[in-house]
Amino acid sequence: MTPFERPVEELLSISAPLAVEMMTRFLRDEVTKAGFFKVVFGLSGGIDSAVVACLAARAFPREQILAVLMPYKTSSPSSVRDARTLVEQLELPFEVVDITPMVDAFFAEEPEASTLRRGNRMARERMCVLYDRSARDGALVVGTSNKTELLLGYGTQFGDLASAVNPIGDLYKTQIRQVARYLGVPRAILDKPPSADLWEDQTDEQELGFTYEEVDRLLYCMVDLQYSRRDLVDMGFAPRFVDAVARRVRVNQFKRRPPVIAKLSRRTIGVDFRYPRDWGM
């Protein structure tokens, strides 16, 4: 059976206990090494941040964790409800910050601003709140972007993509689901369609134009297994789908990298001045 024919859950199957153990240790190690004892993250009511919340709860004592719920007026009521259910279940300290006044004030003079601009602004407002809490509490910001989003560039630069450490960035959405089930994430969160929740009734799959299962299968074959375009098409992937996804990955590379610097000196940051991120920790 080719990777195109195998059930996606099987093709992308991971060992949830092992992955959870590694992510938990990763969090503990990278956070404490950086001289921090606390972590802060945004909790949206979606599956990715729910998994991060569960991992944090395994890695740290409750008093070292802060989950921040940051609804906007158009956010689905179920998002806040599901996020609250989770913090109650995990007994996590949390805070609710309504970002409506900040975002609306920003666009007060520009009522015609596009949904893209508004969505970006919301994502960046949430980032601002998290980094403010980071400075206030001496807490490291934990990222909640998964591998599918990172590869597709389905996120806002300096918005939801911003964080200090990200335990789930090497897991595809399909794998996040496996981990979430293992961690006991509530049914309501597991079952709902993934959504950036930036406007009413938005869903990721509708906006992207394909399902996570379809794109995860392709990305896994393309990125992890390094199949060529010809192999992928021979296997049964539609050529237009392959090209569209490959293009998305390519054009969004900038979101995954620090800004490019004009090289002028003998030793340029990121080019030939290369130290580990964990330098001096």
Partner 1 sequence: MSLRVGLVQMRPALGDVAENARRHVMWVEKAKEAGCDLVIFPELSLTGYLLKDLAVDCARTAEDREVRQVIQASRQADILFGMVELSRGFIMYNSAVYASGGEVVYRHRKVYPPTYGMFEENRYFGRGKRVRAFSAHGSRFGIMICEDAWHPSIPYILAQDGALILIIPSASPARPAVGEMVGSQETWYRAIRTYAQLFGVYVLFANRVGVEDGVTFYGGSAVVDPFGEIVSSAPVFEEALLVADVNEEALRRSRVMTPLGRDEQLDVTVRELIRIYDRRYGEGADVGDPF
List interacting residues with partner 1 (CB under 8 A). Answer: 13-15, 18-19, 21-22, 25-26, 29-30, 33, 165, 273-281
Rg (CA), the chain: 19
What's the CA dihedral at 86, 11, 221, 252 to 10 degrees?
Answer: -10
Residue 176 · residue 197 · CB < 8 Å: no
d(CA 249, CA 247): 5
In three-state secondary structure terms, 96 is: strand
- When the beta carbons of 33 and 62 are compared against partner 1, the nearer one is 33
Min separation Cβ 276 and partner 1, Å: 5
Nearer to partner 1, 251 or 269 (CB): 269
Comparing CB distances to partner 1, the nearer of 214 and 224 is 224
Residue 28's closest CA among 17, 41, 37?
37
Cα–Cα distance for residue pair 243/68, rounded to 1 Å:
38
Nearer to partner 1, 14 or 102 (CB): 14
Q: How far is the CB of 14 from partner 1 (least distance, A)?
A: 5
Using CA atoms, how far apart are residues 250 and 233, in angstroms rounded to an integer? Answer: 19
**Of 120 and 178, which CB lies nearer to partner 1 in the complex structure?**
178
Please state the closest distance from residue 46 (CB atom) to partner 1, in A: 23
Say if residues 4 and 29 touch (Cβ distance below 8 Å): no
The number of angstroms, rounded, from the C-alpha of 262 to the middle of its chain's C-alpha atoms is 30
Taking the mean position of all CA atoms in its chain, how far away is CA 149?
7
Instruction: Give helix then strand counts, H and E, for the chain.
Output: 13, 4
- Cβ of residue 175: shortest distance to partner 1, in angstroms? 9
In the complex, what is the shortest distance from the CB of residue 79 to partner 1, in angstroms, rounded to a whole number? Answer: 29
Q: 119 — phi, psi (to 5°)? A: -60, -45
Which of these, 106, 124, 136, lies nearest to 162 by C-alpha position? 124
**For residues 238 and 271, which CB has a smaller minimum distance to partner 1 in the complex?**
271
Which amino acid, residue 66?
A: L
Q: Nearer Cβ to partner 1, position 247 or 274?
A: 274
- Minimum distance from residue 25 beta carbon to partner 1 (Å): 6
Min separation Cβ 267 and partner 1, Å? 9
